[in-house]
Amino acid sequence: TIFSKLGNYPRALEFNLQRLKLVEKTNDKESLAGVLINIAAVYVYQEEYAKALNYYQKADSVIELHNIADYKYNIAINTGDVYNKLNLNDSAYYYFNKSLIIARQMKDDYYAGISMIGLGHSYLKTENFLLSMANYKSGLEYIKAANDDDLFCEATLGLATLYKKLNQTDSAIFYAKQSFYMAEKDGFLPRHLASVKFLA
């Protein structure tokens, strides 16, 4: 976890793979699912999305087979995110929607907000602008309430992209600037660069 936070992904991957070998010798299925998810997350950080998807699918199999409730939301939202990054929109939509159903069953507004941002991305890619906007804006309210600044940047940049496609330049710039200033304040370099690129 520390190496991941420091951006030393090869070392993070090395330790997670060592842990996987140890966990595979036990009957602890929850730990097995957890380490598979961690390995997938490191591959996401390295933008190796096909490898990430492979490990998320392995984790999903363990979670479903052993009915590990604590990981069901996590695996759904993260699998949706990887499919979204791979531009496999039908699969991304399926998992984002699945995660929203789980979040509502849990009565967790924050998780619901994360899922709605994902659905906003999916609907944007299929140019269903009305549903994209509805999900972005509803999700954004939940994200703001939870003070998740990183996801706030992602959501506002999504809205900026949506308004740009609608040729509503003022609104596009408004949301892009919100993403820019929040990313600058919190030091989210990738989000900051994305908003700079949008505003250029």
Q: What pLDDT was estimated at residue 192?
A: 80
Tell me the pTM. Answer: 0.90
**Which segments of the chain have a pLDDT < 50?**
none
Pairwise CA distance, residues 106 & 97, whole Å: 14
Q: What is the pLDDT of residue 158?
A: 96
**Looking at residue 41, what is its pLDDT?**
95
For tokens 């710039």, name the residue: 173
pLDDT of residue 179: 93
SS3 annotation, 98-110: HHHHHHHHHCCHH
